[in-house]
Amino acid sequence: AQKITQTQPGMFVQEKEAVTLDCTYDTSDQSYGLFWYKQPSSGEMIFLIYQGSYDEQNATEGRYSLNFQKARKSANLVISASQLGDSAMYFCAMREAYTDKLIFGTGTRLQVFP
């Protein structure tokens, strides 16, 4: 069965530092997509970044980059130059091949301190 694992329930980082949020996935499919979402305390789900299984380069979106290691089945999110506004829950998700369901991990709560 396909599964997303986020092993860090909580992370702390100082403002302006970089932080890596871990995500590993389990699938036997060759075609899949990996997503990261941010959920601030207000509750909405904000799309951050996407990586396709056939993409050869790591995805980047501004201060967000995805460290995609296909052989290790990991898709870690790197946030550079953390800001106080980055404090939120972060969810890793995988789109099942040939369906449109997203499978979510349990999330990592990131707290950025001054």
Partner 1 sequence: NAGVMQNPRHLVRRRGQEARLRCSPMKGHSHVYWYRQLPEEGLKFMVYLQKENIIDESGMPKERFSAEFPKEGPSILRIQQVVRGDSAAYFCASSPRVSPEHYGYTFGSGTRLTVV
* Interface ranges with partner 1 (CB under 8 A): 4, 33, 35, 37, 42-47, 50, 52, 59, 91, 93, 95, 99-107
- For residues 53, 57, 61, 63, the Cα torsion angle rounded to the nearest 10 degrees is 120
SS3 state at 41: coil
77 or 103, CB closer to partner 1?
103
Measured distance CA(19)–CA(38) in Å, rounded: 14
Q: Least distance (Å) from partner 1 to the CB of residue 89?
A: 9
Q: Least distance (Å) from partner 1 to the CB of residue 56?
A: 14
Do the Cβ atoms of 112 and 82 come closer than 8 Å?
yes
Q: Least distance (Å) from partner 1 to the CB of residue 28?
A: 18
